[in-house]
Structure 1
């Protein structure tokens, strides 16, 4: 049952038996056995189910089942808002304040002599238990009954069997579900740059943001920022078997000193040019829209100010793929980025032809 339809106390509770089972799901089950254990649930979003490596998201339960080479269950991802409340010993793992869960895990690990490390999201990971923690932005209902973003994050988790416990998110079955290798690793710290330490950039909708003009080549972007990319992400196009992998295509450059990511549009025989810019919430320059500070602020406050601006001027609200809010015609989306137990606002500014997919 999705969280907005669930009454208090209706959330199912599961017990984690480390490396063996979580609730009714035992590692090694095939997809049919998982569906049966979940009362005949259907994976409404899936890939490769029953063909070996694959995964399925069971919407009604808020869990994703990840399967290995022989279609055996090797991992269960539990959603923060919709998933079961999983309990390990005396610790509730799901839908809690991350720092509080981290402290409880450290205490239990000391008692049991288990080693705790930090995973790529900056959260605790315990090989002895097959537990890799994470967090997602919390959501709620407005007085009018609409879903709204909150300024807090709550815990979710990836729970795995013994074959994946050494590196849960680095294993090939999990990578097919969620590939985090291109995400910048977090060491467990969440510094947010003070307002007085941020640059202040102007924004010309659909044309430019700060010194970056849409249509720039990657080398022009780096020159305008006086910084070389800290990371570059791209892909090989899908070609026919006789074409091979094709030429590598640059998708984005991340600039950590300035605090921005440049996103490029490109195509066959068309070199990459700047199509969108994400300004990072924790570290990027400040940008204002009609007196509203968009970067590094309370997400709920920015959302409220944007909605008020839109209603007062009879404009139209746009909601992006991840629930990001924007004003119709500007191709700008206010996003959220984690800052420990909370989130702060960041924004993506796009050229007119850019279709944002989160």
Structure 2
């Protein structure tokens, strides 16, 4: 098995995203045990992260049959806010639909163009992170590029802001920025 082997998009679970409320079965604000219980068939690995606002824990979820070094979904939890950030892996994460757009496991340029057109069609300005990733404060999402062998695919990062973060960019923990 190659280090870059992923799961075909057609074979992945399909989750929808309701901005600032939930992604698939994961609801923002839920506790770690509740999050683990709502996605059966996944193992979890909990680690402490350098404090980022209220966020203190990172939980990596992987399918039980997948190798231990893989991750499908990463959740970031705060002491007060519970689940506040969800990152969906480009290679193994579920397909996530946002307002009719499928944003996981795609070529970054395609997802960026689709988000750009979506914003323009609604009279809004396209948004980008400081690293040039497509983003949307309205949807609480950022589409990051993740390496897949010789290619890049989209990794979706979803966040619910609170009094601990002023902008979407402020929500993203430093451990997430290092995922390539």
TM-score range (shorter-chain normalised) is 0.7 to 0.9
> Which among 57, 61, 69 is matched to residue 58 of structure 1?
61
Structure 1 segment 60-99 matched on structure 2, within 5 A: 60=63, 62-70=72-80, 72-99=82-109
CA–CA separation in structure 1 for the residues paired with 2:176 and 2:39 = 22
Cα gap change, 1:17 to 1:113, in 2 (>3 Å): farther
Q: Which residue of 2 aligns with 1:15?
A: 16
Q: 1:37 Cα shift?
A: 1.0
Q: 1:3 Cα shift?
A: 7.8
Kindly indicate whether the alpha-carbon contact (under 8 Å) linking 1:98 and 1:155 is maintained by their aligned counterparts in 2. Answer: yes
Listed one character per residue, the Cα deviations across residues 267-292 of structure 1 (whole Å, up to 9, x for unaligned) are: xxxxxxxxxxxxxxxxxxxxxxxxxx
> Which 5+ residue runs of structure 2 have no aligned equivalent?
64-70
Q: 1:27 Cα shift?
A: 0.5
CA–CA separation in structure 2 for the residues paired with 1:74 and 1:121 = 21
> Which among 155, 163, 173 is matched to residue 175 of structure 1?
173
Aligned length: 166
CA–CA separation in structure 2 for the residues paired with 1:81 and 1:75 = 19
Kindly indicate whether the alpha-carbon contact (under 8 Å) linking 1:114 and 1:126 is maintained by their aligned counterparts in 2. Answer: no
Listed one character per residue, the Cα deviations across residues 210-264 of structure 1 (whole Å, up to 9, x for unaligned) are: xxxxxxxxxxxxxxxxxxxxxxxxxxxxxxxxxxxxxxxxxxxxxxxxxxxxxxx
SS for the counterpart of 1:125 is: strand
Listed one character per residue, the Cα deviations across residues 80-108 of structure 1 (whole Å, up to 9, x for unaligned) are: 10111111122110111111111111111
CA–CA separation in structure 2 for the residues paired with 1:158 and 1:62 = 12
Kindly indicate whether the alpha-carbon contact (under 8 Å) linking 2:161 and 2:167 is maintained by their aligned counterparts in 1. Answer: no
- Larger RCO (CA under 8 A, 6+ residues apart): 2
In terms of Rg, which structure is larger? 1
Cα gap change, 1:79 to 1:6, in 2 (>3 Å): closer
Listed one character per residue, the Cα deviations across residues 193-226 of structure 1 (whole Å, up to 9, x for unaligned) are: xxxxxxxxxxxxxxxxxxxxxxxxxxxxxxxxxx
Kindly indicate whether the alpha-carbon contact (under 8 Å) linking 1:114 and 1:128 is maintained by their aligned counterparts in 2. Answer: no
CA–CA separation in structure 2 for the residues paired with 1:170 and 1:90 = 26
CA–CA separation in structure 2 for the residues paired with 1:115 and 1:165 = 22
Kindly indicate whether the alpha-carbon contact (under 8 Å) linking 1:115 and 1:128 is maintained by their aligned counterparts in 2. Answer: no
Q: Which residue of 2 aligns with 1:135?
A: 145
Q: 1:16 Cα shift?
A: 1.0
Q: Which residue of 2 aligns with 1:265?
A: none
> Which 5+ residue runs of structure 1 have no aligned equivalent?
139-148, 181-321, 323-336, 338-358
Cα gap change, 1:72 to 1:115, in 2 (>3 Å): farther
